[in-house]
């Protein structure tokens, strides 16, 4: 079974995003190249675990992080599960493989004051300034992913229902409520959007000055620029704003299941990563409220 058949399966049946499919393809093609050079064999269906392990060792020796290596072996594992499903093999060579240990990343959210400073001082005098402020507001008020923001559609904004439609992973739709302050910025931005000399991507909400759909690197630069002026945190990215959204909601007593739905997570386990920052707040409440603590 060819790699292309697997790629078609991810695209047509699993509805994976284009960038995810490209990553799977590259991982598999890299492995196929390795075994063709080192073992004179390019048939992935006939590979054994010893050959895969030698590839993993090669990746470790090259200095690749354990996290990246795990992602590559995960791609390979998914491919073998696909081959079992199609009947091409009966047993995956990775069946007993254990992922390499990785150090958990700790994402430090922006403080509420840092975000408030950015939003209260952001300029809105022209199209780009208004667009950039709206991007910050939407990230923080909705918790959407960068890819979701880039692909927001103009007709997905519903001012009557005070909500916005978001297309998440695997084309799963969800609706997120809009704060009144965000609605005001949205309305101003949409009016300014109409004044662009040309609009090449009319369906998309966020456009460049030239009227084309915005792109990932631009969104990252916008967030990094704003928060570099107010925060000394090492990482200043759209994901940190998503992280801040979830953390601040939990700090103010939001239900974990509600935050899960807003974030578009398929399981609570994915949402619980945001609760570690809430521990400090819980400790404060505990210290003030526990009857034994008040007697000490």
Active centre residues (catalytic): 145, 169, 239, 242, 265, 274
Alpha-carbon gap, residue 90 to 84, rounded angstroms: 5
Tokens of 52: 């895969």
Coil, strand or helix: which one is 4?
helix
Estimate to the nearest angstrom the gap between the alpha carbon of 32 and the chain centroid. Answer: 28
Q: How many CA atoms lie within 13 A of 68 on its CB side?
A: 9
Tokens of 120: 């209260």
Coil, strand or helix: which one is 111?
coil
> Which residue, chain included where needed, has tokens 């609760």?
275
Tokens of 20: 């995810």
> What residues contact 136, with CB distance under 8 A and at least 6 apart?
115, 118, 119, 122, 222, 223, 226, 241
CA distances from residue 25 to 54, 164, 286 in whole angstroms, order as listed: 20, 33, 50
| CA-based nearest residue to 137, from 189, 208, 174 | 189
Alpha-carbon gap, residue 86 to 90, rounded angstroms: 10
> What DSSP string runs through 262-276?
HHT-SSHHHHGGGGG
């Amino acid at each position: 079974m060819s790699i292309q058949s697997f790629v078609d399966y991810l695209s047509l049946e699993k509805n994976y995003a284009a960038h995810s499919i490209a990553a799977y393809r590259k991982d598999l093609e890299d492995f196929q190249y390795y075994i063709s050079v080192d073992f004179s064999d390019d048939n992935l269906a006939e590979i054994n675990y010893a050959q895969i392990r030698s590839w993993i060792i090669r990746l470790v020796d090259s200095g690749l992080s354990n996290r990246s290596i795990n992602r590559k072996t995960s791609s390979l594992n998914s491919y073998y599960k696909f081959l079992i499903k199609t009947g091409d093999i009966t047993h995956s060579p990775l069946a007993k493989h254990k992922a390499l240990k990785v150090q958990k990343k700790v994402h430090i959210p922006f403080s509420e004051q840092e975000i408030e400073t950015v939003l209260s001082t952001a300029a809105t005098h022209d199209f780009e300034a208004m667009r950039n402020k709206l991007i910050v507001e939407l990230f923080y008020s909705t918790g959407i992913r960068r890819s979701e923001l880039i692909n927001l559609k103009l007709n997905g904004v519903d001012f009557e229902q005070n909500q916005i439609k978001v297309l998440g992973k695997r084309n799963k739709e969800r609706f997120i409520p809009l704060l009144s302050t965000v609605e005001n910025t949205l309305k101003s931005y949409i009016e300014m959007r109409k004044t662009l000399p040309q609009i090449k991507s009319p369906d998309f909400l966020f456009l460049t000055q030239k009227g084309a759909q915005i792109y990932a690197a631009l969104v990252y630069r916008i967030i990094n620029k704003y928060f570099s002026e107010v925060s000394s945190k090492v990482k200043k990215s759209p994901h940190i704003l998503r992280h801040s959204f979830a953390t601040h909601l939990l700090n103010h007593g939001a239900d974990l299941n509600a935050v899960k739905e807003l974030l578009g997570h398929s399981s609570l386990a994915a949402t619980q990563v945001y609760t570690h920052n809430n521990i400090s707040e819980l400790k404060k409440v505990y210290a003030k409220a526990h009857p034994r603590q008040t007697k000490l």
